[in-house]
């Protein structure tokens, strides 16, 4: 008589009705909108967390590199100004009509267009903040990729449209003051095979245009209110 245990076959047990996308949304702890930024100089590069001239997703102390070229669908654009001079009291304004916006700009803070984009490889929404002089110039070429109604489209000399796909690359710039990397923008020639669910996209766009509701009480992984 053998003492070997007979292992039951569990392969026929009922499977979970939850699909991978549902599980991801359930288990994802990131409640705030992450950002993609172009890295050119600074501590992140000096410490080897990412290479110069690469797009990355900062997450606390870590940075996930996306390389030097990314494809994005542009869903929305808004104004943004940030005063980060006091890490314990970061001030943000999303309206050029607010006194705070002008105060931040005049005080040398960060300001410029903020875009809501859907990145191809991650299949997620991100913010891209074009907040310095070089970036603001580039942002004018990305703006036409955002959804436009009839009036906006006429002013830009294009037809009204929804989100358009753009390929963002990198250009090396240099002058007497130094060198840096700049975003380049061109039409994306490769169709997106996976796009966000319509209802999810509407939700993200509404949150993007109403950031105060999203940010109330939320903190990012750096422990600072966004």
CA 218-77-93 angle, 5° bins: 50
CA 47-53-56 angle, 5° bins: 70
The pLDDT assigned to 30 comes to 55
Q: Parse the chain into domains and list their residue ranges.
A: 31-215
Give the pair of three-digit tokens for residue 114. Answer: 């903020």
pLDDT in tens, the chain (226 residues): 556 666 677 777 777 777 776 666 665 555 689 999 999 999 999 999 999 999 999 998 899 999 999 999 999 999 999 999 999 999 999 999 999 999 999 999 999 999 999 999 999 999 999 999 999 999 999 999 999 999 988 888 889 999 999 999 999 999 988 899 999 999 999 999 999 999 999 999 999 999 875 554 444 433 333 3
Q: Is the dihedral of CA 179, 185, 188, 194 positive or negative?
A: positive
The pLDDT assigned to 226 comes to 36
Q: Among 76, 35, 39, which residue's Cα sits nearest to residue 57?
A: 35
The pLDDT assigned to 15 comes to 74
The pLDDT assigned to 156 comes to 85
Q: Indicate the pTM of the whole model.
A: 0.81
The pLDDT assigned to 10 comes to 73
- The DSSP code sequence of the chain is ----------TTSPPPS--HHHHHHHH----SPPB-EEE-SSHHHHTTSS-TTEEEEEETTEEEEEES-EEEEEEEEEEEEEE-SSTTS-EEE--TTSHHHHHHHHTT-EEEEEEEEEETTTTEEEEEE--SHHHHHHHHHHGGGS-B-HHHHHHHTS--BS-EEEEEEEEEEEETTEEEEEEEEEE--SPPS----HHHHHHHHHHHH-HHHHHTT-B-TTS-B-
The pLDDT assigned to 27 comes to 55
Give the pair of three-digit tokens for residue 171. Answer: 């250009």
Order across the sheet with 54-59: list the strands.
Answer: 37-39, 54-59, 62-67
């Amino acid at each position: 008589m053998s003492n070997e245990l007979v292992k039951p076959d569990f392969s026929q047990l009922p499977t979970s009705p939850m699909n991978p996308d549902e599980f991801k949304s359930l288990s994802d702890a990131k409640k705030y909108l992450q950002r993609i930024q172009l890295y050119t100089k600074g501590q992140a590069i000096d410490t080897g967390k990412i290479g110069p001239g690469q797009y990355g997703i900062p997450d606390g102390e870590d940075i996930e590199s996306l390389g030097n070229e990314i494809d994005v669908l542009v869903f929305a654009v808004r104004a943004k100004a940030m005063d980060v001079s006091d890490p314990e009291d970061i001030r943000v304004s999303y309206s050029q009509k607010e006194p705070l916006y002008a105060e931040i700009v005049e005080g040398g803070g960060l300001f410029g267009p903020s875009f809501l984009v859907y990145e191809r490889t991650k299949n997620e929404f991100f913010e891209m903040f074009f907040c310095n002089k070089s970036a603001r110039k580039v942002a004018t070429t990305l703006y036409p990729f955002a959804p436009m109604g009839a009036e906006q489209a006429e002013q830009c000399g294009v037809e009204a449209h929804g989100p358009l796909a753009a390929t963002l690359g990198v250009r090396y710039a240099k002058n007497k003051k130094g060198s840096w990397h700049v975003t380049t923008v061109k039409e994306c020639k490769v169709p997106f095979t996976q796009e966000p669910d319509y209802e999810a996209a509407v939700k993200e766009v509404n949150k993007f245009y109403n950031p105060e509701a999203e940010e109330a009480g939320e903190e990012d992984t750096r422990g600072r209110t966004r």
